A and B are shown apart, each in its own frame.
Chain A
Amino acid sequence: MDALVRSANEPRATEARGWSDSVDLTIDRVSKTFGAAAALHETSLKIEGGELVALLGPSGSGKTTLLRIIAGLEFPNTGRILFDQDDASALTVQQRNIGFVFQNYALFRHMRVLDNIGFGLKVRPFFRRPSAAAIRKRAEELLELVQLSGLGRRYPTQLSGGQRQRVAFARALATEPRILLLDEPFGALDAKVRKELRRWLREIHDTTGHTTLFVTHDQEEAMELADRVVVMSQGRIEQAGTPDEIYDAPNSPFVFSFIGESSVLPVNVKSGEVLLDGVPLAIDPGDTAEGAASLYFRPHEVELVEAGTGAIEGIVESLRRSGRSRFAEIAVPGIGRFEIEIIAESVLNSGDPVSVLPRRWRLYADASRGGADA
């Protein structure tokens, strides 16, 4: 806030403008119920200043609830939200000074683009409000930052979806928020615009350095954009880690199957061996508990090998072309089906017997949720 008052009074170069210092965000044992249903079980999470973090999960996983609690739009039943060392829990949404971007933009239709962006400054109490000229200047700078210079006099309805979301973004940045919260920011846009805006958001984040938390159900978006991905399911954090950690070492069957393509087969772990239909596989169970387990692997991380080498024996049921590769559906009689990805030029035909050995895999004991490393 001080930075803004200063920038309103003394002329400074755009490049030298001090963006708000990155704020650490701590979510401390927060939970929330709606009526009898728990939307969010007790959840704790720490986000470093300047991080770009994705909250990823299917609908109903509690990710939006968590975001809205951080914003102050929803009140938790238990727990605290800390911005650096300050307890924000007792602050109203107006006092928290966060930037929030909605999926459907939520632009004020009766205001021009520049007035939308300047709104957060204009509504400040008199003694903290920059002059009209300073607000205008700031709005124009932000418009330039979001690459929409020249469109300031338009009304939101005269912009495309992608442009509207960029205006909403500029509006959220105008008040120098301590933290940026984005709720499915690209959810209403078509695939091409989404991809463009993804890159654009990354660039803006690198310029401004705000601690940023965004909600998405698109795992590709989360993996590509975020420094850290928090996977949520049924009101709980399943796993939090870098995209590499999440993809390469998913800690639960849910995370494995939610991120990327996955194939799964039911197996048994018995005296140091992994048995598929009673036949031992060339797979080391590590410290997976004895008993029923699930073998997860990626369709593209498999090898076709000679029969009888501890591979998964099956029959090609169907083949389908997908872009530059081909997917084969393999049936293991009496056990189940799984998919593998093979080169398009493969000579496999429907009905051929195949032996498949995963190069990398994860084993999850069915009873508990722990897993052994491959």
Chain B
Amino acid sequence: MTLAASAGRWRWKEPSVIPGFGLALGFSLTYLGLIVLLPLAALLLNAASLGWSGFWDIMLEPRTLAALRLSFLAALFAASVNAVFGLIIAWAFVRYDFPGRRLFDALVDLPFALPTAVAGIALTALYAPNGPIGGLLAPLGIKVAYTPLGIVIALIFIGLPFVVRTVQPVLEDLDKELEEAAATLGASRFRTLRSVILPALMPAILTGFTLALARAVGEYGSVIFIAGNIPYVSEIAPLLITIRLEEFNYAGATAIGAAMLMISFSLLLLIHLIQLWQRRRFTHG
């Protein structure tokens, strides 16, 4: 390291005892390129063939805009809800021992395993105006199924495990002495939670939020059953893409796909930057 510094130039690789740098990096880049980048590049290339004006024409269609807005807002909202309640669930699992804890712990992963269509149908049956929950809500004037609210509920369902599973291990490792230190300094339980525990969990919560968000943006199977798919109201962008494909409107489908890709990428990049900034504060700058 000192040698590299004194030479005053950046080196491709620091001398290290860990073998296989070239192989590992080469493999990772090739794999990522083939599996992730290539299809995305093809999508963008396809979209590019439309030209700017063609692309914007499709984008500015009110139906496209409505679908994109619904998709991202519902996903953001669902991920936020999951961040809050996932944290509470993780807290309960780590901090308290209660009968059936392991069973509940295993339940959390079910939304991962269930085929999304099954989840969608089950949720629809529950929340439809003649369903057991929907029937209770209908007299109050609350409609869940076939509205954006239903979409949000489906997205909450499928995104729940992410926050729980990312926060849980961090919470388990959290030093109990930090809380004791705060208590000896006079901080109440609530204050300790707010000023000591939450900041320590924030990186994990953000990671879980990001995963839940990413999953929710791309979700299709569970949503289309409960959404009702009314254009301009409860039609999500992935469904609109499918509709365009069924109309053999490949250009339209690609354009919406490319737009989703860019918005998602910007969101993920933004969250990643926030995390990087957080981490820099905690560790050696």
Contact = CB atoms under 8 A, between A and B. Distances in A.
Do A and B interact? Answer: yes
Interface of A: 71-73, 92-94, 96-100, 102, 104, 106-110, 119-120, 123-124, 155, 157-158, 168, 171-172, 174-175
16 contacts: A71-B184, A73-B184, A94-B184, A94-B186, A99-B184, A102-B177, A106-B180, A106-B181, A107-B181, A108-B196, A109-B282, A120-B187, A155-B282, A171-B185, A172-B185, A174-B185
B178 A106 contact: yes
A100 B284 contact: no
A110 B282 contact: yes
Q: Which 5 A-B pairs have the closest CB atoms?
A: A120-B185, A100-B184, A106-B181, A106-B177, A123-B187
A157 B181 CA distance: 17
A73 B180 contact: yes
Interface residues of B, number: 22
Nearest to B202: A110
B101 interface: no
Contacts of A97: 186
Contacts of B260: none
Nearest to A100: B184
A117 to B, nearest CB: 10
Taking each of A100, A110, A124, A157, which has the highest tally of chain B beta carbons within 10 Å of its own beta carbon?
A110
Given A110-B281, A123-B188, 7 more contacts: A93-B184, A96-B184, A109-B200, A123-B191, A155-B285, A157-B284, A172-B185
B177 A157 contact: no
A108 B191 CA distance: 13
A119 B175 contact: no
Contacts of B191: 123
A107 B282 CA distance: 12
Given A109-B282, A155-B282, A157-B282, A123 B186 contact: yes
Contacts of A123: 182, 185-188, 191, 195
Given A119-B195, A123-B191, A157-B282, A100 B181 contact: yes
Provide the main secondary structure of the chain B interface: helix
Given A123-B185, A123-B186, A123-B188, A102 B283 contact: no
Nearest to A115: B195
B84 interface: no
Contact of A124 (B184, B186, B196, B281): B186
Nearest to A120: B185
Chain A CB within 10 Å — which of B181, B182, B185, B188 has the most? B185
Contact of A94 (B175, B188, B196, B282): B188
B276 to A, nearest CB: 15
Interface in B169-208: 175, 177-178, 180-188, 191, 195-196, 199-200
Nearest to A110: B199
A88 to B, nearest CB: 13
B119 to A, nearest CB: 37
Nearest to A171: B185
B282 A119 contact: no
B63 to A, nearest CB: 45
Contacts of A124: 186
B246 to A, nearest CB: 51
A127 B175 CA distance: 31
Contacts of A168: 181
Contacts of A73: 180, 183-184
Contacts of B178: 106, 108
A168 B175 CA distance: 15
Given A106-B178, A110-B281, A157-B284, A119 B185 contact: yes
A172 B181 CA distance: 9
A207 to B, nearest CB: 21
A123 B182 CA distance: 9
A104 B180 CA distance: 12
Nearest to B191: A123
A120 B186 contact: yes
B184 A119 contact: no
A176 to B, nearest CB: 11
Contacts of A98: 184
